[in-house]
Chains A and B, each alone.
Chain A
Amino acid sequence: MATAIADSPSALLDLLRAVTPENKRLFRELLEHSIAKTGLNGPSPAARTGASGRVRVRLLAYREILAFDDTGGVEGLASNVMEAIVELNELYTFALRFDVARHLLQKYTARWPKARPLAILPPIVGQVKGPVDGFRDNMELDVQIAPGPASEVTFVVFCGLRHAFGVQLNVLHHCSLAKHRVNIVYLRDFAQNLYLTGVSSIGGVRPTCSALRDILANLNSKKLVFIGNSSGVFGALHYGAILDADLVLLFSGPTSLEIGLEESERQAYPRLLELRRAGKIEWPNLRETYAARSTPVSFYYGSKNRVDVAQAENLSGLRNVRLHPISTSSHFVLDYLAPAGGIDRIFASASMC
């Protein structure tokens, strides 16, 4: 049976993702059989194996795990940046082998120093060698709760359009947020409507707020910090006002439905207009909302990114809003904040709000 599974790269990948230390012997047997049978790491193996390029590259990640566990080193099998990205994603998201990923990342960033998708990771990952608590991101869930040890502070994290935070949620959690020992609620917007239709597994905005109130009460939350990245910015602001956040912390994203969404949210915007026409969503003016509130808002964004500047400046002049322009054209700014403990300071300060 093992042989049959190993002949199907997709089935093998599914199996490897479920491997535990206890059945590691099987893991080795399957992978080595597959490598011998299909030439997994040979030239153009996809054509021979029937594996899609992505499956093949993801399998390479498990080969690296074997190499690392045997020798303490990695091979660096990706032949280009795109393969490296897919391989690292497998290690962070499914295999949770941050130790292997860290060594690979060193190799790959040295090999391709100008590749920004790789360069953003080391400042955030730092020296973290593995998960620091029991949280394991399940990408099929749009509500996940990571209780903090006896904390009365809860971070409510609104993922962006791609259901992550610019980096994989496992990276954000284990390399950054978890060290602040607060409760964390991770939300995803599967409907991709800037959370204007609520969180899909719960329902509309009202049911979502009601469910969140229950979750926050169960966590014994006394202080609420709403955090948004990219498309999650709108959700963090919107729900932060409804649920009376103590602080809203934002990283590059939309604050207004009237500014450039046809450009920055090409997929969502026509849908949002249709939902608005059908009277199925509210169309909140968050500048007006926050002008009438005292909730502090901290907003980090790239000062050379035209769209992000316009969205940030929508909140400029409000006494409770602090804008933090960062000198970059990049939409993703966390890595610019990371050196010298910048991200840690931001989240540590938020955890003491």
Chain B
Amino acid sequence: MITEQDVRAAIARARENFDASAVPINADWGDAGLDSLDQASVLLELHEATGIEFPEDSSELKSIRAVLDYAQAAGT
């Protein structure tokens, strides 16, 4: 099961010198200061750490909340 902490840890690994704890759970990545490469890096980190398979067009998973909801629905 992926937790909010897992996602924040993946953000911290994907992006140096970035305060992952300050990202509101419902904020779009862009609004939180993360670009599409960051988002891709975060999801690749999560895939690597947990084995979760994200949808092919994962650009729709636009927030921490969206990632958690997807993971929950996927039973991960």
Contact B30 A331 (CB under 8 A): yes
Contact B38 A162 (CB under 8 A): yes
When chains A and B are docked, how far (Å) is the Cα of A264 from the Cα of B14? 20
Count class of interface residues, chain A: 20 to 34
Answer whether residue B37 sits at the interface, using C-beta atoms and an 8 A cutoff: yes
Which of B1-9, B43-51, B68-76 lies at the interface? B43-51
Q: Contacts of A265 on B, CB cut-off 8 Å?
A: 33
When chains A and B are docked, how far (Å) is the Cα of A59 from the Cα of B56? 20
Please list the residues of chain A having a beta carbon within 8 angstroms of any beta carbon in chain B: 44, 46, 52-54, 57, 79-83, 85-86, 89, 111-112, 114-118, 161-162, 164, 166, 263-268, 270, 307, 331
Q: Contacts of A331 on B, CB cut-off 8 Å?
A: 30
- 11 extra A-B contacts, CB within 8 A, seeds A82-B44, A266-B33: A44-B51, A82-B39, A85-B39, A115-B57, A115-B59, A118-B59, A164-B35, A266-B23, A266-B24, A267-B19, A331-B30
Interface membership of chain B positions 38-67, coded 1 if the CB is closer than 8 angstroms to chain A and 0 otherwise: 111101110110010011111100000000
Q: Contacts of B38 on A, CB cut-off 8 Å?
A: 162
Q: Contacts of A116 on B, CB cut-off 8 Å?
A: 36, 59
Q: Contacts of B47 on A, CB cut-off 8 Å?
A: 53
Contact B36 A85 (CB under 8 A): yes
Q: Contacts of A118 on B, CB cut-off 8 Å?
A: 59
The residue on B at minimum CB distance from A93 is: B37
Contact A81 B33 (CB under 8 A): no
Contact B56 A112 (CB under 8 A): yes
When chains A and B are docked, how far (Å) is the Cα of A117 from the Cα of B40? 10
Residue among B14, B39, B47, B57 having the largest count of chain A Cβ atoms under 10 Å: B57
Contact B56 A81 (CB under 8 A): yes
Tell me the minimal C-beta distance from B42 to chain A in angstroms.
Answer: 9
Tell me the minimal C-beta distance from B38 to chain A in angstroms.
Answer: 7
Q: If A53-B44, A85-B40 touch, does A162 touch B35 (CB 8 Å cutoff)?
A: yes
Interface membership of chain B positions 8-38, coded 1 if the CB is closer than 8 angstroms to chain A and 0 otherwise: 0000001000110011100100111101111
The residue on A at minimum CB distance from B27 is: A266
Contact B57 A263 (CB under 8 A): no
Tell me the minimal C-beta distance from B70 to chain A in angstroms.
Answer: 13
Contact A86 B23 (CB under 8 A): no
Contact B41 A86 (CB under 8 A): yes
The residue on B at minimum CB distance from A271 is: B19
When chains A and B are docked, how far (Å) is the Cα of A307 from the Cα of B31? 9
Q: Contacts of A161 on B, CB cut-off 8 Å?
A: 33
Pick from A81, A89, A266: contact of B32, CB below 8 A.
A266
Contact A89 B37 (CB under 8 A): yes
Tell me the minimal C-beta distance from B29 to chain A in angstroms.
Answer: 10
Tell me the minimal C-beta distance from A111 to chain B in angstroms.
Answer: 8
Q: Contacts of A307 on B, CB cut-off 8 Å?
A: 31
When chains A and B are docked, how far (Å) is the Cα of A48 from the Cα of B18? 29
Residue among B23, B38, B54, B59 having the largest count of chain A Cβ atoms under 10 Å: B59
When chains A and B are docked, how far (Å) is the Cα of A81 from the Cα of B48? 16
When chains A and B are docked, how far (Å) is the Cα of A112 from the Cα of B36? 15
Pick from A83, A162, A164, A267: contact of B40, CB below 8 A.
A83
When chains A and B are docked, how far (Å) is the Cα of A46 from the Cα of B23? 28
Pick from B32, B33, B54: contact of A82, CB below 8 A.
B54
The residue on A at minimum CB distance from B34 is: A162
Tell me the minimal C-beta distance from A352 to chain B in angstroms.
Answer: 32
Q: Contacts of B37 on A, CB cut-off 8 Å?
A: 85-86, 89, 162
The residue on A at minimum CB distance from B23 is: A266
Tell me the minimal C-beta distance from B32 to chain A in angstroms.
Answer: 6
Q: Contacts of B58 on A, CB cut-off 8 Å?
A: 80-82
Q: Contacts of B41 on A, CB cut-off 8 Å?
A: 54, 82, 86
